Homo-oligomer: A and B are copies of this chain.
């Protein structure tokens, strides 16, 4: 999408087509800067330290991490080493394992001499497929937004609430939850987004507000506590969020706090949709609450926060009394019964085994 009129992706190759360039998302919203990944370790650190984040973009970066590894050492041992190093970076997003499995499988049946080229080619394909998938999610989701807007008599604005960042910054381009919003905006539908700030890392305040602003989409920031009140008062027409892992039965694991918004949507009759490419579906599991590994992150993300001073410097400040203990759970699971529908690249389906198998019949056991 656009940054001040210039189209960007979140990850691309540059120079010799071997260096991988990314937007350093830890510097947003105060500084827009790119950084180069030239090794497996660079890629692993970029994921672990969240220079890149968002399930689809983590998958894409994992694929390029495998390619960077093949550049210096294409032996089987290094395929295993790269796989393990990258897989260990973050536990929850399904796309990472999906992309790594894909690369490993292809590389192991490729001669050592060709592995670098095959890995780069496949990583690039994964990126392009993600863009295509997200674009399709956008088309299907925009039709949904349009129909809700029509049903309500074409009000002056249609209000979509989203949690965290599932925009183009979370994918290679377009986004999952935000792709329908960008497409609806392109189609001239007066979409307005309630942006949950999404504590503790504030991906809503830092990333979603930034990317919507840069692309020119109307939005208002709210703290995570406010969505329920807005729904009680009819100020939310629908919710659309992303997902880091979706079970075969339609349970949705997404940024912590998503579940609370789904409960409020249910209580107030607000449709609650989830945008996802097939790569976030974990076909091996059904029960999200018990079977999805939930990442616990550093306490400091809760007790401290980075912001911009009046002088324009970005610094970290402490929010709590000294020595306060904090627990930093990164994701939660929304049971399928609270999800109105899944917006995939193949269309919209019920959040259920039947719904997903209807769209992905090749996955039916």
Contacts and interface: CB of A to CB of B under 8 A. Distances in A.
A322 B243 CA distance: 28
Given A199-B199, A267-B263, A315-B309, A221 B326 contact: yes
A226 B257 contact: yes
A329 interface: yes
A51 interface: no
Interface in A191-246: 197-200, 202, 205-206, 209-210, 213, 219-230, 232-233
A93 B68 CA distance: 60
Contacts of A257: 223-226, 228
A147 interface: no
Given A197-B319, A206-B319, A317-B315, A222 B263 contact: no
A31 to B, nearest CB: 11
B205 A223 contact: no
A302 B233 CA distance: 21
Interface residues of A, number: 63
A264 B259 contact: yes
A289 interface: yes
A307 interface: yes
A228 B338 CA distance: 14
B232 A263 contact: no
B326 A222 contact: yes
A29 interface: yes
A126 interface: no
Interface string A242-265: 000000000000011101110110
A325 B200 contact: no
A304 interface: yes
A75 to B, nearest CB: 42
Given A221-B302, A224-B257, A229 B319 contact: no
6 closest A-B pairs by beta carbon, nearest first, are A307-B317, A225-B257, A229-B332, A199-B223, A29-B321, A263-B263
A308 interface: yes
Given A205-B324, A256-B229, A263-B267, A197 B197 contact: no
Nearest to A233: B289
Given A197-B199, A228-B332, A232-B259, A305 B319 contact: yes
**What's the number of copies of this chain in the assembled complex?**
2
Nearest to A258: B225
Contacts of A78: none
A302 B223 contact: yes
A327 interface: yes
Contacts of A256: 223, 225-226, 229
A349 B221 CA distance: 38
Contacts of A325: 219-221
Nearest to A301: B223
Contacts of A202: 319
B209 A320 contact: yes
Interface string A296-337: 000000111111111000011111110111111101110000
A317 B326 contact: no
Given A197-B199, A225-B199, A226-B257, A320 B220 contact: no
A294 interface: yes
